[in-house]
Amino acid sequence: MSKTTGNGSSGSPVRRWFRVQRSVTRAPSWRNYSFLLFMVLLAEVGVGIFVLRDLRQSYVQVQKMYEGSVRGLRRIGELQYEAQETRRSTLYALTTNDGNLQVNYADQSREADRLVTQGIAEYLAQAQLPQERSVGDRLTNDWKSYLKIRDEVLGLILEGSPKEAVDLDLAAGVPLFEEVRQDLEEIKRLYDDRASQRLSVVAGFFRRSVAKLLAAFGFGLLFASIALWAIQSSKVRGAVQLANLQMDFVAAVSHELRTPITAILSAGENVRDGLVQGRPALHEQGSIIAGQAGQLMELVDQVLQFAATTKGKPWHAEKAINVHGLIDHSLRNTAAVLQEEGFTVEQIMDPTLPAIVGDPSVLSQCLQNLIGNAVKYSAGSRWIGITAHVEWDRDKTYELQISVRDRGVGIGEGDLPHVFDPFYRSPQVVAAQIRGTGLGLSIAKRSAEACGGRLTVTSELGKGSTFTLHLPIPEPAGAELTAAHMTSIGDRS
Amino acid sequence: MMRMRSRQLRMVRIVLLGSLILLAFRFSPSADATVGTGERRGSPEQSLAIVVNRANPVDNLSFSELRKIFLGRRSHWPTGRRIAVAMLDYGQPERETVLERIYQMDENGYRNYFLRGMFRGDVFMSPKTLASPTIVRKFVFNAPGAIGYLRATDVDDSVKVLRIDGHLPLDKDYVLQIDAGR
């Protein structure tokens, strides 16, 4: 035997309408698609960061290329010019017999040679690779050797021995200067090689960046198109479903309303047409009218209450609540039913329960629904147990648990996942003609959630059910309890 | 009497010995190549230094050797290096001093001497005429066989100052002094 709540079948149009309405108003599907869009955006940002990193590395490489290779090449170009100037000025001194001009040319040659020597020293200071240091050392030695010859040639020119100067320059100056020239070319080639390597690295970064960008834009466009299409079709589908089920809802509610109205109408017609004679018969027809009207009222109240919870608006006012008072209030409001049916209510309450925060009317309605549910499915046991205590919960904090237990029909394993669905009623309950709207537990669950809590159920078919309302304990009581608990655990360990 | 005479002789010997010591000290070679030693006479502005390339091993020349070199009658240094004489341009006091003291000629005599000498082959090379003391200094610095002259105040470490007859420009008996009127 299973335990159910509410009236109407599991596949009723009303229940389906509420499901769809919830899906449309909360729009979970296109929220999912929005999440997909968000993920696409995140992926784009991620790829963008990678591309930016690539660009930054490219910039660093280009900067290194400029500082190392381009500037180095320019410097070597200057060295080549100054080396030529050293030699050129020396040879210019040969072209004149004017001692003043010869001295000027010698000065120019020495100034150029000073710049070359300084440039070679700078190159050696910056050289990192063994090959660079090797060619730098070789250039230093070759340049010194050439300068010795240059000095000798200058001396000969100034001393008035141009022929000897030319002979010496041809014999030693020219080959030594050629060595210097080749050394400078070698350095230039090294700079060229380094620049080429860095250029290829930059080209690699560029290719990778372009590929990443294209891939990112391509996938982004694809996923965004899919997500937009899905959102759009979901909205359209939802709107169509909503429109269809609005009609179903109207029809279903009309059906639910029609049964009691029909009963009231026929009872009224019986009385009007004089078919009912005598006080007992009149009492019977009056009871039918009152009972059906009450059922009608209950249906309307619950639909309105459920609609209010479905809108998702703040429909409760929070304040501190004494738990004992809350339970007493709920029992007072259900006392008439409990006394009429002859129920025994057993309460096991912790006397030191902390106050909680929530809407008293909402939580009281929640407990009343649970008590009413226990009464409805007690199956003649006439017993309800209510317990309230503080429990160490799964979130490593303390919470208040109020349980309403019955020894009734219980709920089948297959029905347990659906007992909180609006308008859900198990086929067995429908067959047993147990009256109800199928909204009570759904409203109770939403009420618990509205106050920051939750509602759980454990049940065994034929043995009864326990509905437990879990509510958070506000600060500072909750923190103090948690701290005390942690201390006790520490003491035990 | 005999005793008095021997005492007088001893006194004369002492005086002579002292004079010899003073003379020896006066003519001893100087350790300072630039400034000179002994009693000073000329001022740096008026002393004319004979300068050669620092690589030249010659430190001292007699005045007659110096004259031969400047007259172009000696062509090479002992090292085999060709001698190149640097003269300052016309009209400069240093040049006039050199013409007067070394060449012992005037400008015309100097010009004629080298024209004739080069023509006859008596002179191996005529001096280079340079515009300023700075150029002379650079010329001497650049040419290992060069010799020239500068005021002592124009001398720096790039050239070497020669002793003439053992004297440096600031020494008392140094012969190359520019007349105060020039």
Better-predicted residue by pLDDT, A34 or A25: A34
pLDDT for residue B28 is more than 50: no
* Rounded Cα gap, residues A99 and A84, in angstroms: 22
pLDDT for residue A136 is more than 90: yes
CB B143 within 8 A of CB A158: yes
Cβ atoms within 10 A of the Cβ of A21, count? 19
The Cβ-side half-sphere exposure at A36, using a 13 Å CA radius, reads: 19
The alpha-carbon gap from B93 to the nearest alpha carbon of chain A, in Å, equals 19
B155-176 pLDDT, tens per residue? 999 999 999 999 999 888 898 9
**How sure is the predictor about B54, in pLDDT bands with cuts at 50, 70 and 90?**
very high
Interface touch A159/B144, C-beta < 8 Å: yes
> If we measure between CA atoms, which residue out of B36, B15, B35 comes closest to residue B27?
B36
* Rounded Cα gap, residues A117 and A139, in angstroms: 10
| Amino acid (one-letter) located at A307 | A
Interface touch A103/B125, C-beta < 8 Å: no
B window 18-77, beta carbon within 8 A of A: 53
* Rounded Cα gap, residues A152 and A485, in angstroms: 99
Among the partner residues B84, B135, B144, nearest to A160 by beta-carbon distance: B84
A344-378 pLDDT, tens per residue? 999 998 888 888 888 888 888 889 889 988 998 88
Interface touch A160/B130, C-beta < 8 Å: no
State whether residue A106 sits within 8 Å of chain B by CB: yes
* Rounded Cα gap, residues B155 and B49, in angstroms: 8
Q: What is the pLDDT of residue A271?
A: 86
* Rounded Cα gap, residues B172 and B167, in angstroms: 8
A window 134-153, beta carbon within 8 A of B: 151
Residues forming beta bridges with residue B43, ordered by sequence position: none
* Rounded Cα gap, residues A470 and A358, in angstroms: 12
pLDDT for residue B24 is more than 50: no
> If we measure between CA atoms, which residue out of A465, A245, A254 comes closest to residue A377?
A465
Q: What is the pLDDT of residue A38?
A: 82
Least confident of A331-335, A417-421, A479-483, B85-89: A479-483
**How sure is the predictor about B32, in pLDDT bands with cuts at 50, 70 and 90?**
very low
State whether residue A346 sits within 8 Å of chain B by CB: no
State whether residue A108 sits within 8 Å of chain B by CB: no
Mean residue pLDDT of chain B comes to 82
Q: What is the mean pLDDT of residues B52-79?
A: 94
From chain B, the residues in CB contact with A86 under 8 A are none
Q: What is the pLDDT of residue B170?
A: 87
B94-140 pLDDT, tens per residue? 999 999 999 999 999 999 999 999 888 888 888 999 999 999 999 99
Among the partner residues B125, B135, B144, nearest to A100 by beta-carbon distance: B135
Q: Indicate the helix (H) or strand (E) that contains A336.
A: helix A335-341
Residue of B nearest to A90 (CA): B142
Q: What is the pLDDT of residue B85?
A: 95
Residue of A nearest to B83 (CA): A159
Q: Say which residue the tokens 């784009």 belong to.
A: A44
Residue of A nearest to B129 (CA): A99
Interface touch A158/B125, C-beta < 8 Å: no
* Rounded Cα gap, residues A6 and A436, in angstroms: 4
The alpha-carbon gap from A122 to the nearest alpha carbon of chain B, in Å, equals 27
A55-105 pLDDT, tens per residue? 888 788 777 777 777 788 888 899 999 999 999 999 999 999 899 999 999
Better-predicted residue by pLDDT, A38 or B85: B85
Q: What is the pLDDT of residue B81?
A: 92
Among the partner residues A102, A103, A159, nearest to B145 by beta-carbon distance: A159
Q: Indicate the helix (H) or strand (E) that contains A209.
A: helix A174-272
State whether residue A162 sits within 8 Å of chain B by CB: no
Interface touch B138/A154, C-beta < 8 Å: no
pLDDT for residue A396 is more than 80: no
Q: What is the pLDDT of residue B33?
A: 38
A187-232 pLDDT, tens per residue? 989 888 888 887 888 788 788 878 878 887 788 788 878 878 888 8
Q: A378 in helix, strand or coil?
A: coil
**How sure is the predictor about A484, in pLDDT bands with cuts at 50, 70 and 90?**
low
pLDDT above 70 covers a percentage of chain B that reads 76
Interface touch A159/B143, C-beta < 8 Å: yes
pLDDT for residue A51 is more than 90: no
From chain B, the residues in CB contact with A103 under 8 A are 130, 135, 138-139, 142
Quick check: bond before A476 cis, omega within 30? yes
**How sure is the predictor about B152, in pLDDT bands with cuts at 50, 70 and 90?**
very high
Interface touch A99/B139, C-beta < 8 Å: yes
Among the partner residues A99, A151, A155, nearest to B86 by beta-carbon distance: A99
* Rounded Cα gap, residues B178 and A467, in angstroms: 130
A320-344 pLDDT, tens per residue? 889 999 999 999 988 888 888 899 9
* Rounded Cα gap, residues A466 and A408, in angstroms: 10
Q: How far is CA B52 from CA B56, B85, B167, in A?
A: 7, 10, 15
pLDDT above 90 covers a percentage of chain A that reads 30
A256-300 pLDDT, tens per residue? 677 778 888 888 888 888 888 888 888 888 888 888 888 788 778
Interface touch A99/B142, C-beta < 8 Å: no
Q: What is the pLDDT of residue A1?
A: 34
**What region, left, alpha or beta, does residue A5 occupy, with left being phi > 0 and alpha being psi -120 to 50 degrees?**
beta
State whether residue B131 sits within 8 Å of chain A by CB: yes
**How sure is the predictor about A254, in pLDDT bands with cuts at 50, 70 and 90?**
low
Q: What is the pLDDT of residue A7?
A: 36
Among the partner residues B125, B130, B144, nearest to A160 by beta-carbon distance: B125
**How sure is the predictor about A438, in pLDDT bands with cuts at 50, 70 and 90?**
confident
Interface touch A155/B135, C-beta < 8 Å: no
pLDDT for residue A182 is more than 70: yes
> If we measure between CA atoms, which residue out of B135, B132, B131, B127 comes closest to residue B158?
B135
pLDDT for residue A16 is more than 70: no
The alpha-carbon gap from A130 to the nearest alpha carbon of chain B, in Å, equals 37
Q: Say which residue the tokens 């110096």 belong to.
A: B66
From chain B, the residues in CB contact with A155 under 8 A are 53, 142-145
Interface touch A103/B139, C-beta < 8 Å: yes
pLDDT for residue B16 is more than 70: no
**How sure is the predictor about A415, in pLDDT bands with cuts at 50, 70 and 90?**
confident
> If we measure between CA atoms, which residue out of A353, A324, A354 comes closest to residue A475?
A354
Among the partner residues B129, B138, B146, nearest to A159 by beta-carbon distance: B146
pLDDT for residue A477 is more than 80: no
Among the partner residues A106, A155, A161, nearest to B138 by beta-carbon distance: A106
Reported pTM: 0.50
**How sure is the predictor about A434, in pLDDT bands with cuts at 50, 70 and 90?**
confident
Q: What is the mean pLDDT of residues A118-130?
A: 90
